[in-house]
Structure formats: structure tokens, C-alpha cells
Amino acid sequence: MPDDDTGEAPFWQAKSLDQMTPAEWESLCDGCGKCCLEKLEDADSGEISHTNVACRLLDIRRCRCTRYAERRRFVPNCEQLDPGNVHRFTWLPSSCAYRLLAEGRDLPWWHHLLSGDHELVHRVGASVQGRAIPERRAGPLEHHIVTWPA
């Protein structure tokens, strides 16, 4: 699909993930907040269970990290996605732009880079807005397993 201004393909179609600038890479995030939900891994099978429990740094209303630039200082196990490791994170939601592009697929119709609307992800129910709970109020994660984030 050509970019309206230049007639050329948009950067996410014209470039591989590792060719993107840091700003282009960061702009792929749709702001759904799903990657910031706590996950449980079965020690025997390796199976990942998703929860509706938000990382303590996630602003649930805005679906954005409150300390993004320094998040690993506060949450040492916070994963840092980059073009070289995105394939490793099989728990990323199926709608995640990083996952979709790494798999050779396109962005969902509601993604802000296509729609021009950063709030559409919330209005179509593709985010955790209104569906996640803060870590400090959750209690045992086993009580919060959900199927919708994947």
C-alpha cells in the first residue's frame, strides 16, 4: 500500500525490521499493553499462561509504561524487544506489530500507522484498557489467567 504523501511503500513494508531506525521501530508499538501483562511459565512443559495482571509500571488507562526509558532499572526481568530477538518471544500477542512483521504479515487495520488514530486500538478492544488489574492488587497470579491477550 503506497504512502499517501510519497507514493512509496510505508517504511514497515519497505524495510526489514533490522533496517528500521530506532524511531521507526518504536512507532510500531500499537499501545495495546498486552506485552506488559504478567505471564506464568509451566516449569515442566514451558507452556505460557497469560494473566490480566499489569506490570507495576504500566499505566492501565493509557496502556503505556510510566518509566519506559528506565524500565529495566525498576523491573529487571522486563524484556527488551529488538529486531534480532523478536522471534524468540513467542508469547507476544498475535496482533503485535513486531510479531506480525517478523512473520512476514502486515499490520492490523486498526493499527495507528494505518488508521492515523492512536485510540482506535482501545475502541476496538485490542488493548488491555479496562481489562487489566494492577499488580499490587492482584494476589496470586494463578487466579488471573486469561485467554484474551494471546
pLDDT at 97: 97
C-alpha cell at 129: 484498557
Q: What pLDDT, in 10s, does the model give residues 14-68? A: 999 999 999 999 999 999 999 999 999 999 998 999 999 999 999 999 999 999 9
Global pTM value: 0.88
- Taking the C-alpha atoms of residue 16 and residue 68, their distance in angstroms, rounded to an integer, is 24
Amino acid at 99: R
- Torsion, Cα of 29, 34, 39, 45 (10° steps): -80
Asked if 32 and 95 touch (Cβ cutoff 8 Å), the reply is yes
Can you spell out the DSSP letters for the chain?
A: ---TTTSSPPHHHHS-GGGS-HHHHHHT-----GGGEEEEE-TTT--EEEEEEEPTTEETTTTEETTGGGHHHH-TT-----TTTGGG-TTS-TT-HHHHHHTT-PPPTTSHHHHS-TTHHHHTT-S-TTT-EEHHHH--GGGGEESTT-
pLDDT, one tens digit per residue, over 122-139 is: 999 999 999 999 999 999
Residue numbers of the domain that contains 86: 12-146
103 inside domain: yes
6 in any annotated domain: no
In a domain, 1, yes or no: no
Q: What is the tens place of the pLDDT at every residue in 95-105?
A: 999 999 999 99
Q: Does residue 96 fall inside a structural domain? A: yes
Residue 124 lies in a domain: yes
The count of structural domains within the chain is 1
Residue 134 lies in a domain: yes
Instruction: Say if 4 falls within a structural domain.
Output: no
Kindly state whether residue 56 falls inside one of the protein's structural domains: yes
